């Protein structure tokens, strides 16, 4: 494959090599000047929470990491059947092991056909559980990424608005695992307002510790089965709204699929 060739373009862009943790380098191009004169072509990314709702019944998982390129169109007829694609990350999931191996081969054939390259060191084949999009996926359900949980455990108390926002952004990614997330996080969210002086009080400390504790308990969410009836439990207060989405599991017990919550603005409260 040719890496360098002559170009007669009127536009040039700076190139740099960015170091990676693996001691390799990533080839990066600064396209800011070119982007400034190009008409925007919006291409919406799939919602991660929707991608993580597809694994009911799956027992075997494989993840592929492409060196570059998007595979949505190439694998379009496989998506939602036994393949999930997010940018250059691909997940293959099936119930039967023999079928799983067969469809791994089919996906790899498609990748080879369009001359794409996979990063073999980052691929995982035929696993019972697998890390994908910051989550751990297994037959019993969905968990938060264990490395992220370790990071959360070691987070120190935020010292300014920027650190509070970073803390909330990290937790917002896993808010589906935390019941009444918005209500618990309210003292921290209020602290990010420019109208309020930064002052860490017992309320913020309690919210900080409560959020950490709930995620450290490593909750697991059931995979939704779209052939079964859903159970919706709602709650409302003067501060916000919340609901729990659940289904009856194989033991005929209510199993949580997701928690959702929303704080109310002053106008909504009135």
Going across the sheet that includes 60-65, the strands are 83-86, 89-94, 60-65, 124-127
* C-alpha separations of 132 from 36, 88, 98, 105, 126 in Å: 34, 12, 22, 20, 14
Tell me, yes or no, whether 2 lies in a domain.
no
Give the per-residue pLDDT at 68: 73
Tell me, yes or no, whether 42 lies in a domain.
no
pLDDT along the chain (270 residues), means of 10: 73 83 79 85 82 94 86 85 92 97 96 90 95 94 91 89 92 92 92 87 95 92 95 87 93 93 77
Residue whose pair of structure tokens reads 């119930």 in the numeric block = 95
Tell me, yes or no, whether 169 lies in a domain.
yes
State which residues form the domain around 184.
146-269
Tell me, yes or no, whether 22 lies in a domain.
no
**23 secondary structure, DSSP code:** S
**Which ranges of the chain would DSSP assign to H, the alpha helix?**
32-35, 48-51, 97-113, 146-153, 161-172, 181-191, 202-216, 266-269
- Final residue in a domain of this structure, among 100, 133, 166: 133
Give the per-residue pLDDT at 41: 73
Tell me, yes or no, whether 8 lies in a domain.
no
Beta carbons within 10 angstroms of residue 223's beta carbon: 20
Measured between alpha carbons, how far is 263 from 239 in angstroms, rounded to an integer? 6
Measured between alpha carbons, how far is 134 from 136 in angstroms, rounded to an integer? 7
Tell me, yes or no, whether 43 lies in a domain.
no
- Final residue in a domain of this structure, among 92, 111, 133: 133
Phi-psi region of 218 (alpha: psi -120 to 50; beta: other; left: phi over 0): left
Same domain as 114, residue 190: no
Answer whether 0.85 is exceeded by the pTM: no
Give the per-residue pLDDT at 3: 66
Measured between alpha carbons, how far is 225 from 245 in angstroms, rounded to an integer? 12
Tell me, yes or no, whether 60 lies in a domain.
yes
Measured between alpha carbons, how far is 161 from 189 in angstroms, rounded to an integer? 10
Nearest to 177 by CA among 140, 222, 207: 222
Same domain as 164, residue 246: yes
Same domain as 174, residue 68: no
Give the per-residue pLDDT at 265: 74
Same domain as 193, residue 99: no
Q: Provide the domain count of the chain.
A: 2
Tell me, yes or no, whether 16 lies in a domain.
no
């Amino acid at each position: 494959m040719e890496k360098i060739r002559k170009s007669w373009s009127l536009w040039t862009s700076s190139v740099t090599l960015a170091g990676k943790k693996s001691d390799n380098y990533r080839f990066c191009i600064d396209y800011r000047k070119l982007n400034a004169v190009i008409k925007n072509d919006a291409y919406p990314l799939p919602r991660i929470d929707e991608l993580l709702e597809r694994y009911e019944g799956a027992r075997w998982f494989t993840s592929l990491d492409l060196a570059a390129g998007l595979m949505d169109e190439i694998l379009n007829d496989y998506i939602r059947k036994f393949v999930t694609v997010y940018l250059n990350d691909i997940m293959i999931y099936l119930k039967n092991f023999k079928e799983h191996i067969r469809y791994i081969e089919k996906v790899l054939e498609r990748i080879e056909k369009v001359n794409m390259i996979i990063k073999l060191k980052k691929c995982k084949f035929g696993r019972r559980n697998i890390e994908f999009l910051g989550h751990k996926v297994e037959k019993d359900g969905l968990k938060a990424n264990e490395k992220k949980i370790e990071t959360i455990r070691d987070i120190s108390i935020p010292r300014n608005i920027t650190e509070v926002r970073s803390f909330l952004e990290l937790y917002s990614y896993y808010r589906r695992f935390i019941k009444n997330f918005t209500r618990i996080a309210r003292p921290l969210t209020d602290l990010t307002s420019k109208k309020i002086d930064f002052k860490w009080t017992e309320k913020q400390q309690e919210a900080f510790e409560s959020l950490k504790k709930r995620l450290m308990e490593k909750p697991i969410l059931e995979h939704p089965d779209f052939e079964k009836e859903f159970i919706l439990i709602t709650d409302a207060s003067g501060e916000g709204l919340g609901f729990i989405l659940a289904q009856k599991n194989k033991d005929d017990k209510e199993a949580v699929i997701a928690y959702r919550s929303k704080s109310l603005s002053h106008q909504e409260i009135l």
